[in-house]
Amino acid sequence: MGLNLNVILFLVLHLLPGMESSMINLSGNGYDGIVIAINPGVPEDGKLIQSIKKMVTEASTYLFHASKRRVYFRNVKILIPMTWKSRSEYLMPKHESYEQADVIVANPYAKYGDDPYTLQYGQCGDKGQYIHFTPNFLLDNNELVYGPRGRVFVHEWAHLRWGVFEEYNTDQPFYLSQKGVIEPTRCSTGITGTKAVNKCQGGSCVIKPCKRDSHTGLYEAKCIFIPDKSQTAKESIMFMQSLDSVTEFCTKNTHNTEAPTLQNKMCNRKSTWDIIMKSEDFQNTSPMTGTNLPPSPTFSLLKSKQRVVCLVLDKSGSMSSENRLFRMNQAAELFLIQIIEKGSLAAMVTFDSDAKIQNYLTKIADGNDYQNITANLPQIADGGTSICSGLKAGFQAITHDNQRTFGSEIILLTDGEDSQISSCFEEVKQSGAIIHTIALGPSAARELETLSNMTGGLRFYAHKDVSGLIDAFSRISSRSGDMTQQAIQLESKALNIEGKKWMNGSVLVDSTIGNDTFFVVTWTTQKPEILLQDPKGKIYKVSDFEKDKLNIQSARLRIPGTAETGTWTYSLLNKHADSQLLMVTMTTRARNPSTLPVIATAHMSRNTALYPSPMIVYARVSQGFLPVLGVNVTAIIESEDGHQVILELWDNGAGADTVKNDGIYSRYFTDYHGNGRYSLKVYAQARKNTARLSLRQQNRALYVPGYVENGKIIMNPPRPEVQDDMVAEVQDFSRLTSGGSFTVSEAPAVTPADVFPPGKIEDLEATFKGDHIQMSWTAPGNVLDKGKANSYIIRISKYIQDLQQDFDHAALVNTSGLIPKEAGSTENFGFKPESSRIENGTTFYIAIQAIHERNRTSEVSNIAQATKLIIPPEPSVPALATSISAFSSMIFELAVIFFYTLN
């Protein structure tokens, strides 16, 4: 192969389009289509809208200068929730929704503060998911702790749009530099300040000098960096945008490569500006000429409406094969009964060579309204396939009763090809409708995904059995942001059961769910015997299930009242002599509006993959905005020919996983099995009381503890004291979700074993124990994060540049006794540096590579630092109180110099 594989992987990973929901467009230096959505739970307050406008307007000018006249905010849409009163100035949304907003305004779940943050868990340069501001942040006077809101917005925008990371580290606020000096973790090093401990008790605070920790050689855990109010440094926005002088990002010349920041870890010590300049935005945009500022942003106020959904279902001749029509009807009925929210409007269209409106919009107000639609589900499949006819009829069904297609949803299901589908793309775009597509079988039109992509819709692929269709329909829930109304899937299992055999299973119902709970059984030949037992022992038999009125071979039980908390067990007996496919589905909703349910969402890192390129599977498990940790998460990826790959996803901060314990479970996917569509389904289970909530939020604007002004320390109010990992157990639960579909091209039928190298080690740590260096890291795989590597190469130097610039020529460490473990395991290794005199203050830098069995090497790991330290007893230093006098400051600094001299 002429081109280095790591280069190929980099190019493929960074040039392919990502799994994006945002509709932002950059044209002529201005960003259009930014959506800021207010959560339905936020009380109506006109001041909130004014604060948003002011923040964005300030941010636009700041961004323009920070980007060196390249970009600014031109048009912003503010999405008002249905819970607010209607006003004449509110317009109708098109494709905009809370679920796909770029910025959300929502109350924090649990009282853990109002830090602005960006949900960002991709690789370096990958776009984030959304920015979260709380109403308190937007309305309160908090400029002293965060800086002007416009500057904070630009800080978070850099996370969201350009995939850069923080240049501070609350876990490691200080580090030991190559010069043996303790430095605050920051970029740039030109930002000055002091360090102190602010001890508060009973409303009074005392400021004391920091002591050194005898184990780490750094300052004690409570030591904080307090910046000078007056600075000359212009960098960096990703460290402390609150400082008046800070107007730029760190560049190659000002970047601090030594600091233990997430930016250095994730981006191979490249500066934020280097990453920003490589973004798609900046590759295609030149600085504006002249000296004039760009125009101020314009704002559109959009108000959400009740949900309007039209099913557009294929009944062409090909739907008669493999029971497709039958399975479509089963899934569509389930959607209308169990998934669509009460109060929604629903319609249905069927199509073959032509289209027919089966139902105009019907309000789903009670349990019987759906019957008006399900009674018209198609019973005969014949004719050709005209997808555009179906879509146009869908628009007519929606507009018949003075509704507009703007903001409405169409669920388009088809198994057929249609060479004319592109003829209605422009009409679809102008309709303002959101098109969710479900491709059934391998022959469904390849242009379906284009419809979803251009309208912000979801995309799914279903193979043979009904479970894929049911999973797809179950995922198409409300996009309003009201989690208490959304349907939650607990179980989806389909098995081919031999004659006279049982199918057994169990489902967990936790205390956050239990309303509107349905248990559904489907079959292909004969109705099975059904036994369902609740946690208190009550048994529901087949006679308790609603009879199948539509002849679509399904039985449904709506659990009376609120479902009991605990483990539900079920047993199905195939009474037929021959084997048949039996399927169990269980859905529910939140137990009460005051407690948000635990949810799971999933997606791939890309919509499309060009072989050879590894994809990343992401699953997020959360309760409100809080990550749920300690969950067993499993992904099932299925190709068009039915080949399945099962992956256990990890939240260990290694391999594909960006940050440990953030509730984002990730894994590389490399087992391609031919070209075409692939589907993703994820199970999340918490058992044996292992799950817990975390209050830790990454990629947030720094809460500034205070400032030094004219030699005096002026402290801000302390940040609310909250443990990063809150001791809050989560009940055992189970969740299931569809992650949609993605497409693969240029892949062989079976992936060769030597295509991908071992994964890069990201969490290497090293410390001195006596005269030995002890190392630890998470084992990569033989293929990225799968299997186990063949061997390791460890190199060491007293100079970090040796490992950064010429790893292959740094000194080797003897690893003959080091046998790699299975991927995901913790590796430990100790050695004594050879041919070096080890004295107090001696520092070594260490890095590692993993070797594939066919001698492919991983990227060089992060560089770990080990320093031999013997810390002398500290002299007594008086408290700093609330000011630093010239004398006490001198004593404090002399004490620090004394320590440096000894070390």
Where does residue 535 rank: exposed (0-12), middle (13-18), buried (19+ CB within 10 A)? middle
**Residue with the two structure tokens 């819970």:** 83
Distance, CA of 274 to CA of 251 (rounded, Å): 7
Work out whether strand 608-610 and strand 733-745 pair parallel, antiparallel, or are unpaired. Answer: parallel
- What SS3 state is found at 896? helix
Beta-carbon contacts of residue 770 (< 8 Å; ≥ 6 apart): none
CA-wise closest residue to 412 among 312, 524, 344: 312
CA-wise closest residue to 880 among 181, 201, 205: 205
- Kindly state the helix (H) or strand (E) to which residue 584 belongs, with its residue range: strand 580-590
DSSP 339: I
Distance, CA of 423 to CA of 391 (rounded, Å): 11
Work out whether strand 626-629 and strand 692-693 pair parallel, antiparallel, or are unpaired. Answer: antiparallel
Length of the chain in residues, anyone?
903
The answer to whether 642 touches 464, Cβ cutoff 8 Å, is yes
The answer to whether 404 touches 432, Cβ cutoff 8 Å, is yes
The answer to whether 763 touches 778, Cβ cutoff 8 Å, is yes
Cα dihedral 33/36/40/41 (nearest 10): 170
**Residue with the two structure tokens 């941010």:** 59
Beta-carbon contacts of residue 608 (< 8 Å; ≥ 6 apart): 16, 17, 742, 743, 744, 745
Distance, CA of 575 to CA of 668 (rounded, Å): 42
DSSP 410: E
Distance, CA of 73 to CA of 342 (rounded, Å): 38
Residue in 99, 156, 638, 827 annotated catalytic? 156
Q: With helix as H, strand as E and coil as C, how does 490-549 read? A: EEEEEEEECCCCEEEEEEEECCCEEEEEEEEEECCCCCCEEEEECCCCCEEEHHHCECCC
Distance, CA of 75 to CA of 844 (rounded, Å): 52
Contacts of 43-51 with C-beta under 8 Å, sequence gap 24+, read: 44/83, 44/84, 44/85, 45/135, 45/139, 47/139, 48/105, 48/135, 48/138, 48/139, 49/78, 49/80, 49/301, 51/138, 51/139, 51/149
Six-digit token string for 798: 């007293």
Distance, CA of 343 to CA of 363 (rounded, Å): 6
CA-wise closest residue to 494 among 325, 621, 327: 327
DSSP 202: T
Q: Is 156 a catalytic residue?
A: yes
Work out whether strand 539-541 and strand 513-522 pair parallel, antiparallel, or are unpaired. Answer: unpaired
Six-digit token string for 805: 């610039």
Six-digit token string for 68: 């060196």
The answer to whether 127 touches 156, Cβ cutoff 8 Å, is no
| CB burial string 350-389: b at 16+ within 10 A, e below | bbbeebbbbbbbbebeeeebbeebbeebbeebebebbbbb
Report the Cα 72 to chain-centroid distance in Å.
Answer: 26
Work out whether strand 529-533 and strand 566-573 pair parallel, antiparallel, or are unpaired. Answer: antiparallel
Q: Which residues are catalytic?
A: 156
